[in-house]
Amino acid sequence: MGTLEPLVASAVSACWLHTSFHAVELLGYALILSTVFIIMVKPEE
């Protein structure tokens, strides 16, 4: 849950402060989401 905090903060700033995102930032968000997905799907040993 803590790994999604930067993504949520950016989404709130985009909605509230009308900030814009660049391609590098969108790539970073995609990498964060993919990392969270991999951690959730990885089977326990």
Domain extent at residue 26 = 2-41
Q: What pLDDT, in 10s, does the model give residues 1-45?
A: 566 777 788 888 889 988 888 899 889 888 988 988 888 887 777
pTM above 0.75, yes or no: no
Buried-exposed string 15-41: b where 16+ CB fall within 10 A, e elsewhere:
eeeeeeeeeeeeeeeeebeeeeeeeee
- When divided into structural domains, the chain yields a total of 1
pLDDT, position 29: 83
